[in-house]
Amino acid sequence: MTTRHQHGASAEPLLSIEDLHVHFVTSRGVVRAVEGVSYQVHKGEIVAVVGESGCGKSVTSLTVMRLLAQPAGRVVGGRIMFEGRDLLTLGDEEMRAIRGRDIAMIFQEPMTSLNPVLSIGLQIMEPLTIHLGMSEAQARARAVELMGLVGITDPERRLDQFPHQLSGGMRQRVMIAIGLACNPKLIIADEPTTALDVTIQAQILELMKDLVRRLGIALVIITHNLGIVARYADRVNVMYAARTVEQGTADEVFLTPKHPYAIGLMRSVPRLDRPRGQRLETIEGLPPNLLKPPTGCRFAERCPYRIEICATEPPLAPVDGDHLSACHRARELPLAAAATSAAAVVPAVDLSAQPTLLEVEHLAKHFKVPARGLLGGDTRTVKAVNDVSFTIARGETLGLVGESGCGKTTIGRVVLRLDDPTAGEIRYDGQDLGRAAGGEMQKLRRQIQVIFQDPFSSLNPRMSVGEIIGEPLSVYRLEPDSRRVKERVGELLTQVGLFPYMAERYPHELSGGQRQRVGIARALALEPSFIVCDEPVSALDVSIQGQIINLLEDLQRRYGLTFLFIAHDLAVVRHISHRVAVMYLGRIMEVADRDTLYAAPQHPYTQALLDAAPVPDPLIERSRAPRALTGELPSPLNPPTGCVFHTRCPKAVEDCRHIVPELREVRPNQLAACIRL
């Protein structure tokens, strides 16, 4: 089970997880969260553990830290060797002395991982005083040093601040400072940048890579983002349904994957560096339920290469030296790269002949932040959207992309008239949507529907799927006959790839992907012609994401739908959109058709966004110079004067502080708002 020999007898791994088994005892039975996982981490190495939610990647790392949720989590087998000691047999006090001293951990959610009532300084100093016995003054000095190391400006003042006074990126820097405090030998980072914007993600990952290389620390990155793996990892472990299915160097796993699941993942992820294919190839079906895992190969049910032998369990065995795969047919599998490039490239549909459906002109939306109390105070204004103009042709998908707080969701809400515009015009099919009211608005609402981001919270948990989908029909009295409603719900469920019997179910009985399909069916119920999709796939796993994107594209072709597709993931937007608008701090920075925008971005912000997003190919990543955008997103309460991007722009000049750039045609059919073009 070990791969120790490949590193030579002398190179003992720093951390060696051997045949680990972890169970969770729940009210519904025993969840076998980790089954026979093994991997090694050597000194100074960056190892990635990649897999979808629930595959056991986080549970494995929490087990290393002995931080499993108690009393539900139980280690039922295996060893975790760290510097010659089995961590699983240590006493609680011995283990505590290792945590934060020799092994540090960085968690996913910087917003909730720091204690809100304790100062930043105390939280960084804590491991120093506990593990290294430093005095208050020594620890304080070291904390200032650490904050400088992780790029926090003005550390002296920050020490006395509290977490809520820092942005998400800054908080994650604080987490890294805490992790580095005692010069650990190993850092485990569990989805360290998933909650962050793409430009901040690049800053944080570059910082971590830099520090671990410089300080000789081994790093385990747990992630679902294949681009991050390709950019940073030396070695990769791919997990699926509680097992390791493939293990090897980054080049091996990305260029010649030897497990059908890994191949499927590589193919189903929308990519920034590849033109749009006909459809995303997807892994059909769902991961198995770990309460009752299937016998044999766990992936067999979804595997296109399945044969009879797959009913027996495949061992994780070498295919080629270091490269391990848990597949009976590992040696016969086709090359992933070849298969991908074979996918047909569709030329962009010519939509110029199509009439305009939605026309937005000089739209602005400002929110007042009220002062509290009777005596009042000054109300402040958040200018969420400023002077935004765009059009969408019938049958077109306009992708609206940008980082959090850029106003993309607000635009969606105003177009839906969930919020009223502060200024500007919105015309839908020639009608004034911005000012429509009463019966007129009712009629328009039937044609404009929405799909929300979070399929977990946007469906009423007390309503059955049938009631959720059927509700719009009865609200608009389209189907007075309840039997017809039922039939129509069945039809809608079939259209989105579910089954009519699911109408009886409740949202909690469905998986994330299925719930999002219900959300889509609800949007389709009124046969709209225009749908606002607000981050419809960002809460979903890669393999499920592909399925939903394909469904949306199919529906668009079949019913001639028009989409406003709001997302932060540039690759997803590239895949689904005909044209793309890039937003920053309430303004559109650049609009162009998809291929032009991605091939030749003109605006410095678009360029920075594309640079920051990693591509799942280690060869490409190695050839790209890291050009992380510096600085933080300014507060929309107090946006910069002139061009809102000038504070972070590498090309900014003095004039950018004063002149608000117009969105103008810089090249045929490519509009950008920058005075330097």
Partner 1 sequence: MISYLANRTLMMVPTLFGVAVLIFFLLRVVPGDIVEVKLRGDGGTVSAETLEAERKRMGLDKPLPAQFADWMKGMATFDFGKSMWTDRPVTEEIAARIELSIEVAIMASIIAVLIAIPLGTLSALFRDTWIDYVIRLFTIAGLAVPSFWLGMLVILSLLSFFNWLPPITYTPIYVDPIANLSQLIWPAMAVGYRYAAVVARMVRSSIIEVMKEDYIRTARAKGVYERLVVSRHAMRNALLPAITVIGLEFAFLIGGLVVTEQVFNLNGIGKLFVQAVSRNDFTLIQTMVMLIATIFIAVNLIVDVLYAALDPRIRY
Query: Which residues make up the interface to partner 1 (CB under 8 A)?
Result: 65, 67, 71, 92, 96-101, 104-105, 107, 109, 112-119, 126-127, 130-131, 162, 164, 175, 178, 372-375, 377
Q: What six digits make up the tokens of 465?
A: 């799927």
- Name the percent of the chain in helix, strand, coil, to the closest 5: 35, 25, 40
Q: Cβ closer to partner 1: 104 or 238? A: 104
Q: Cβ closer to partner 1: 94 or 655? A: 94
The nearest distance, CB 654 to partner 1, in angstroms, is 37
The nearest distance, CB 66 to partner 1, in angstroms, is 9
The nearest distance, CB 649 to partner 1, in angstroms, is 33
Residues in the chain: 677
Q: Cβ closer to partner 1: 73 or 472? A: 73
The nearest distance, CB 22 to partner 1, in angstroms, is 16
Q: Cβ closer to partner 1: 108 or 556? A: 108
Read off φ and ψ for residue 25, nearest 5 degrees.
Answer: -90, 115
The nearest distance, CB 126 to partner 1, in angstroms, is 6
Q: Cβ closer to partner 1: 88 or 339? A: 88
The nearest distance, CB 49 to partner 1, in angstroms, is 17
Q: Cβ closer to partner 1: 106 or 324? A: 106
The nearest distance, CB 101 to partner 1, in angstroms, is 6
Q: Count of CB atoms within 10 A of residue 356's CB? A: 14
Q: Cβ closer to partner 1: 373 or 439? A: 373
Q: Cβ closer to partner 1: 115 or 381? A: 115
The nearest distance, CB 319 to partner 1, in angstroms, is 36
The nearest distance, CB 375 to partner 1, in angstroms, is 6
Q: What does each C-alpha distance from 47 to 88, 169, 508 come to in angstroms?
A: 21, 23, 35
Q: Cβ closer to partner 1: 66 or 603? A: 66
Q: Cβ closer to partner 1: 373 or 461? A: 373
The nearest distance, CB 615 to partner 1, in angstroms, is 30
Q: Are 178 and 184 a contacting pair, CB within 8 Å? A: no
Q: Which residue has the tokens 């047999």?
A: 89
Q: Are 671 and 596 a contacting pair, CB within 8 Å? A: no
The nearest distance, CB 116 to partner 1, in angstroms, is 6
Beta bridge partners of 401: 567, 582
Beta bridge partners of 383: 366
The nearest distance, CB 366 to partner 1, in angstroms, is 25
| Helix (H), strand (E), coil (C) string for 563-623 | EEEEECCHHHHHHHCCEEEEEECCEEEEEEEHHHHHHCCCCHHHHHHHHHCCCCCHHHHHH
Q: Cβ closer to partner 1: 131 or 274? A: 131
Q: Are 254 and 81 a contacting pair, CB within 8 Å? A: no
The nearest distance, CB 135 to partner 1, in angstroms, is 17
Q: Cβ closer to partner 1: 111 or 660? A: 111
Q: Cβ closer to partner 1: 377 or 439? A: 377
Q: Count of CB atoms within 10 A of residue 1's CB? A: 12
Q: What does each C-alpha distance from 140 to 100, 126, 143, 151, 405 come to in angstroms?
A: 17, 10, 5, 17, 34
Q: Count of CB atoms within 10 A of residue 598's CB? A: 22
Amino acid at 296: G
Q: Which residues of 388-425 are buried (b: 16+ CB within 10 A; e: fewer)?
A: bbbebbbbbbbbbbbbebbbbbbbbbbbbbebebbebe
CA separation for the pair 512, 515 (Å, rounded): 5
Question: Which among 350, 348, 349, 344 has a CA at the least distance from the CA of 280?
Answer: 344
CA separation for the pair 518, 466 (Å, rounded): 9
Q: What does each C-alpha distance from 278 to 116, 190, 301, 347, 554 come to in angstroms?
A: 48, 34, 25, 9, 11
Q: What six digits make up the tokens of 664?
A: 């103008």
Q: Are strands 218-223 and 186-190 parallel, antiparallel or unpaired?
A: parallel
